[in-house]
């Protein structure tokens, strides 16, 4: 009994700590975020007024917010375009470069470098006055390009930085997926005369769905939440031409003192990521969705059977009692 009590106390302590941390750092801030999104709080005054859905209406009506989402879309599309290239590089590392730990380290290195440090490094490369890129162009008698101050190319310049930083981790994920595929299947397909394309379509891709789903989720999440690179390199400029949704949210809160609208933007961002990830899962891995759906249906059927059995037992009990009364 004593051991059982001690075990229960120990279990309660282990459960209490993560539960408290979850409440303090996730649930309560999430609740406050949702609450403030329905107010006109400016972040300074202790009082505020509830404005209903006004902030959410502004999120979908303001052109500057849609412009920032358009900039996010550029990050998403270019990263999406790079996925086949990343997969191809992973295949090269897996098949043709033996003892590729050195290359793996080189490829993964940009991901572990601090984002602010990367932004400062590329700011020097992109400098229109004494930058490295314009210096190289000068060797070919090509005029200077305003990489970060021309509204037409600034977003492309920033997306290149993002690609340089995150391509490596995608390659490592694809490489892990490739190395998890049973080599016997590939060898058998090779013996049967399957071409590289047929091996890729029939064996590699079906086994890479989970990795592809993770990479796409990281792509969507990263594209919608990109902040540090444009914040450090351009502060969203020139004008608002490189402002992303996350940067716009922070500016709305701390520069324009409109915390209510900023919280509504954050809620919309969270919901958008959840919805897109669900749709992505339905498209890429419909069998998992069907499995979960079948489980839910199975649980409902079990409940229905339990209810039917309970009704049947109660009916039999009632009939038995009725017969006993008639006999008496």
Q: What is the CA radius of gyration of the chain?
A: 29
> What pLDDT is recorded for position 263?
93
Residue 268: C-alpha distances to residues 33, 50, 292 (Å): 11, 18, 26
Integer Cα distance of 133 and 111 in angstroms: 22
Mean pLDDT of the chain: 85
Q: Which of 11-15, 162-166, 250-254 has the lowest mean pLDDT?
A: 11-15
Task: Give the mean pLDDT of 144-168.
Answer: 90
Integer Cα distance of 301 and 250 in angstroms: 48
pLDDT band at 327 (very low <50, low <70, confident <90, very high): low
Residue 198: C-alpha distances to residues 51, 136, 145, 195, 204 (Å): 58, 43, 44, 5, 9
Integer Cα distance of 248 and 237 in angstroms: 11
% of the chain at pLDDT higher than 90:
20
- Residue whose pair of structure tokens reads 């229905």 in the numeric block: 304
Please say if the pLDDT value at position 50 is more than 80: yes
| pLDDT tens, position by position, 184-213 | 888 888 888 888 788 888 888 888 888 888
Integer Cα distance of 43 and 130 in angstroms: 41
Integer Cα distance of 325 and 157 in angstroms: 90
Integer Cα distance of 135 and 142 in angstroms: 9
Please say if the pLDDT value at position 17 is more than 60: yes
DSSP reduced 3-state for 249: helix
Task: Give the mean pLDDT of 120-142.
Answer: 86
Please say if the pLDDT value at position 124 is more than 70: yes
| pLDDT tens, position by position, 30-40 | 999 999 999 99
> What pLDDT is recorded for position 99?
65
Cα 34 versus chain centre, distance:
20
Alpha-carbon dihedral sign for residues 75, 81, 84, 85: negative
- Residue whose pair of structure tokens reads 């209810």 in the numeric block: 307
Integer Cα distance of 108 and 117 in angstroms: 16
pLDDT band at 1 (very low <50, low <70, confident <90, very high): low
Task: Give the mean pLDDT of 158-175.
Answer: 90
> What pLDDT is recorded for position 328?
58
Q: Which residues contact 205 (CB under 8 A, 6 or more apart)?
A: 212
| pLDDT tens, position by position, 259-274 | 999 999 999 999 988 8
Winning range, highest mean pLDDT, from 118-132, 151-165, 293-307: 151-165
Please say if the pLDDT value at position 293 is more than 70: no
Helix runs in the chain, H state only: 2-22, 28-36, 54-61, 63-95, 101-112, 115-126, 132-139, 154-180, 183-191, 196-199, 205-207, 209-225, 228-233, 245-254, 259-284, 286-327
Task: Give the mean pLDDT of 76-98.
Answer: 85
Q: Which of 233, 272, 226 is nearest to 248 (CA)?
A: 226
Winning range, highest mean pLDDT, from 100-109, 151-160, 191-200, 219-228: 151-160
> What pLDDT is recorded for position 244?
92
Beta bridge partners of 39: 50
pLDDT band at 282 (very low <50, low <70, confident <90, very high): confident
């Amino acid at each position: 009994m004593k051991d059982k009590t001690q075990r229960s106390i120990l279990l309660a302590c282990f459960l209490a700590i993560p539960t408290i941390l979850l409440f303090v750092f996730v649930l309560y801030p999430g609740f406050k975020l949702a609450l403030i999104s329905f107010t006109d709080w400016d972040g300074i005054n202790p009082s505020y007024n509830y404005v209903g859905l006004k902030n959410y209406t502004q999120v979908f009506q303001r052109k500057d917010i849609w412009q920032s989402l358009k900039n996010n879309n550029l990050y998403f599309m270019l990263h999406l375009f790079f996925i086949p290239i990343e997969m191809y590089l992973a295949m090269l590392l897996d098949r043709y470069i033996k003892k590729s730990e050195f290359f793996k380290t080189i490829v993964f290195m940009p991901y572990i470098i601090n984002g602010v440090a990367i932004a400062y490094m590329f700011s020097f490369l992109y400098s229109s006055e004494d930058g490295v890129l314009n210096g190289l162009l000068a060797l070919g008698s090509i005029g200077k390009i305003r990489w970060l101050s021309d509204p037409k190319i600034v977003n492309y310049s920033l997306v290149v930085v993002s690609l340089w930083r995150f391509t490596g981790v995608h390659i490592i994920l694809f490489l892990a997926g490739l190395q998890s595929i049973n080599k016997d299947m590939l060898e058998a397909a090779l013996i049967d005369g399957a071409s590289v394309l047929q091996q890729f379509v029939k064996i590699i891709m079906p086994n890479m769905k989970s990795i592809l789903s993770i990479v796409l989720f990281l792509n969507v999440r990263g594209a919608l939440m990109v902040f540090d690179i444009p914040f450090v390199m351009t502060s969203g400029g020139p004008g608002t031409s490189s402002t992303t949704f996350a940067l716009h949210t922070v500016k709305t809160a701390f520069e324009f003192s409109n915390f209510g609208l900023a919280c509504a933007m954050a809620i919309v961002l969270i919901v958008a990521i959840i919805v897109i990830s669900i749709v992505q899962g339905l498209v890429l891995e419909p069998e998992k969705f069907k499995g979960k759906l079948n489980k839910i249906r199975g649980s409902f059927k079990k409940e229905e059977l339990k209810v039917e059995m309970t009704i049947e037992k109660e009916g039999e009990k009632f009939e038995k009692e009725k017969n006993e009364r008639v006999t008496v």
